[in-house]
Amino acid sequence: MKVPAHIGSIVLVLPLLLAVLQTATAQKNGIQIYSLTVDSKVSSRFAHTVVTSRVVNKAEEAQEAIFEMELPKKAFITNFSMIIDGVTYPGNIKEKATAQKQYSEAVARGESAGLVKATGRKMEQFQVSVSVAPAAKVTFELVYEELLKRHLGVYELLLKVRPQQVVKHLQMDIHIFEPQGISFLETESSFMTNELADALTVSQNKTKAHILFKPTLSQQQKSPGQQDTVLDGNFIVRYDVTRTLSGGSIQIENGYFVHYFAPEGLPTMPKNVVFVIDKSGSMSGRKIQQTREALIKILSDLGPKDQFNLITFSSEATQWKPHLVPASTENVDEAKRYAAGIHALGGTNINEAMLTAVRRLKSDNQAELLSEGSVSLIILLTDGDPTMGEINPTKIQKNVQEAIDGQYSLFCLGFGFDVSYAFLEKMALDNGGLARRIYEDSDSALQLQDFYQEVANPLLTTVAFQYPSNAVEEVTQDNFRLFFKGSEMVVAGKLRDKSPDVLSAIVKGKMHKQNVTFQTKSSVAKQEEEFQSPKYIFHNFMERLWAYLTIQQQLEQMVSASEAESQVLKDRALNLSLDYNFVTPLTSMVVTKPEGQEQSQVAEKPVEDDNRHKNINTGYDLYRLSIGLQGSRITAPPLIPLDPHKSLLHGMEIQNKGPVVTIAPPSAPIQAPPVLLTLPGPSMDRLCVNIKHSQEPMNLLSDPDQGIEVTGQYNTEKACFHWIEVTFKNPQVHVHASPEHVVVTRNRRNSAYKWKETLYSVLPGLKMTMNKTGLLMLSGPDKVTISLLSLDDPGKGLLLLLRDTDHFSSHINGTLGQFYQDVLWETPEGADDNIRILKVQGKDYSATRELKLDYQEGPPGKEISCWSVEL
């Protein structure tokens, strides 16, 4: 829920001032949110979310209230209503053509008709405004649904929290029910802090989980007595379910069934991969640099039985090798050197590059150079439309489809927003693959790596689901070309009136050099009984799951269908959208309002190419809102653009003290040791370590009993680390920290976090937190706490801090680990109390008592006395 900033016609360019004015204006506006609840029920992967916001106008005149909510792109809005003075104003879902007239009339009147906008990589923004009389109350309610998709071994429920003021009654209530059993569950938030930890409770048993977030008013406040809220960001729940070797689970509710299939323990099939990389002029700079970085990492992840080749293209296509080659250490190393030398220049000849890739696979296959039972993939990365050779997109799609002829799968990656996503999507879907947008950002290389991980491990090909014809009808897609590790195939359908008491299913597929068959059975009566708990279930959820899945698949099939087939699919998807009240690309929701206001606004679902040619480096669309308050005005002084290279303010500190902004000179340089070790024992003495001689990566700490390993590369000139890696065995988590960002890898899934972005992630046995000062803490029950800090100066690096070190075992070792073995302290003869000798594993180190800065609680730090040692 958002209360708008009414700023006359002032254009604000400083985000800090924008945030301050928005909040200040919200309070003056008099619209107060007194209740905001998010209730999400996830039943067998299908999420039903209800957002309810209650507001009151405390001003003496009518004011505008804005309801704003971000929801996942894959979700369908299914209901919206406003209750004003006891009267309900519903949102009516209609065929797009029917709503178009109302939409056009609203636009002609100058009204803001579009209620849903794409915002960021995964979200869409829904926004409605309404005028509220003095003392009147309004209740907004938005309902949306989505089927959670398994991605690299997890399902993810993403909720956005952004009230922009403290709320008396604020609550997120999430219930998850998975009859297969919940194998693990974790939460992550970009706004949670240790102060908010008490507001979050997570409980779980074998099949159910409950997550409740209910902060008090004081917990929401940025500072005591202020209306500014700390709640602004994502709340994420990730989980997976228990699986068997058969991999199948059939669940039944109210006459409908869903069949989930993701078998465990299957070996990875060998693959033949041709990487087709755009190196045209538009890829120059950061894009080609990130592509090189990602390609080098991807090449490292090729399996020993894989074969591969690289094709780079600009005005023409160039093959790295005349044939696909095995992914041996020698070949991979040579390919990495080739990838490191890729430079961007020239036009974009996609047609020639694609046909070269297909010819390469066909030729090698005919020459029997590809192993029997292997899977062949083409992965295309491009950032622009074709400009050389054949440039007609339709002809290129036709040429590629005819050349591939169903033999290989094509995956298309569109880098940025200058490429036609629709062109790439059709080309991929025509050829058994999929398309993905790669967003231009600091983590673009990670996005490329993550995509590769999705397709890195093919387990089955030509998978077919079979059910007794007398038992089911109206079944969704039941044939799939490929099944990859970490994903899941989903089939849903309707039970016939006189279906058997037990529903059986057979799944057939090919695995390397053999055919395999999986069998699953499910008792209808027993399954119906499973879904009876109203706390976890919403009515007819499986029927709605079936409708949702059917519509999503039909929309996708329309992309590659013929004109006649496409119309049939469109009609079916439209009818289902209307029957089940879904806002899809084929329908619109007309939001009605009280008489005398804008009579209607129209909500339509954005499509991927709506964002084309927008510069969305941040992942968010920016909108300017300029609304005048009746009888009041806000003015602002001229804003000074702050250029760090030219401005007189460079190097000064800006302090926000209420309504006054003061500018103070920078404080004196802060000295902090690159490594701060808390020593075990009652004295809690600290060791400040300086490393004088190191060029190669170092084994800093290794404790097999703790399951922790810390490595890093030290920069002796700058007295800090280039990078630090922390690896945990339980849970299996890898953290790579560099001055640019922190990358957390879990189950082959990468998550990138910028320094000073709030992070609060709770995994089984491990908690990761980062506050606004940029202090990253890795802690857990009976674990050593490892903290990392990135220094503010971009030219600097990382600091390492350890505490709770009494948890180290006697098997600790490493450059820093040695100080947790048997250490002897001696005072040299005639020396004062500030000098000691440390005897560690046969080596003597001189230690001097010095004043240093301790960042254990984050900047600005505090002065401490510690023993300074040089290695």
Is the distance from CB of 817 to CB of 700 less than 8 angstroms?
yes
Is the distance from CB of 483 to CB of 489 less than 8 angstroms?
yes
- Answer whether 0.75 is exceeded by the pTM: yes
> Which amino acid, one-letter code, is at 118?
A
> How far apart are the C-alpha atoms of 312 and 292, rounded to whole Å?
12
Q: Which pLDDT band, with edges at 50, 70 and 90, does 173 fall under?
A: very high
Report the 10 Å Cβ neighbour count for 763.
20
The pLDDT tens digits for 712-757 are: 999 888 888 999 999 999 899 999 999 989 999 998 889 999 998 8
Task: Indicate the average pLDDT of the chain.
Answer: 84
The pLDDT tens digits for 328-385 are: 999 999 999 999 999 999 999 999 999 999 999 999 999 999 998 899 999 999 998 8
> How far apart are the C-alpha atoms of 669 and 142, rounded to whole Å?
52
> How far apart are the C-alpha atoms of 703 and 783, rounded to whole Å?
11
The pLDDT tens digits for 452-479 are: 999 999 999 999 999 998 999 999 999 9
**Strands 472-473, 686-690: parallel, antiparallel or unpaired by DSSP?**
unpaired
Is the distance from CB of 543 to CB of 255 less than 8 angstroms?
yes
Specify the residue for token string 């979310």: 49
Say if residue 731 is preceded by a cis peptide, omega within 30 of 0. yes
CA torsion, ordered 27, 639, 162, 186, to nearest 10 deg: -140
Encode burial over 604-626: b for 16+ CB neighbours within 10 A, e otherwise.
bbbeebebeeeebeeeebeeeee
Give CA separation, 546 vs 252, 532, 577, in Å. 11, 19, 12
- pLDDT for the residue numbered 341: 95
CA nearest 16: which of 661, 771, 754? 661
Is the distance from CB of 280 to CB of 343 less than 8 angstroms?
no
The pLDDT tens digits for 598-630 are: 555 677 777 776 454 444 333 332 222 222 222
Q: Which pLDDT band, with edges at 50, 70 and 90, does 648 fall under?
A: very low
> How far apart are the C-alpha atoms of 823 and 819, rounded to whole Å?
6
Encode burial over 97-132: b for 16+ CB neighbours within 10 A, e otherwise.
eebeebbeebeeeeeebebbbbbbebbbbbbbbbbb
Bridge partners for 208 per DSSP: 177
- Is 50 exceeded by the pLDDT of residue 3? no
- Is 80 exceeded by the pLDDT of residue 635? no
DSSP string computed for 777-793: EEE-TT--EEEEEE-SS
The pLDDT tens digits for 545-599 are: 999 999 999 999 999 899 999 999 999 999 999 999 999 999 988 887 777 665 5
CB-side neighbour CA atoms (13 Å) of 610: 16
Structure tokens at 406: 């169903």
Report the 10 Å Cβ neighbour count for 524.
18
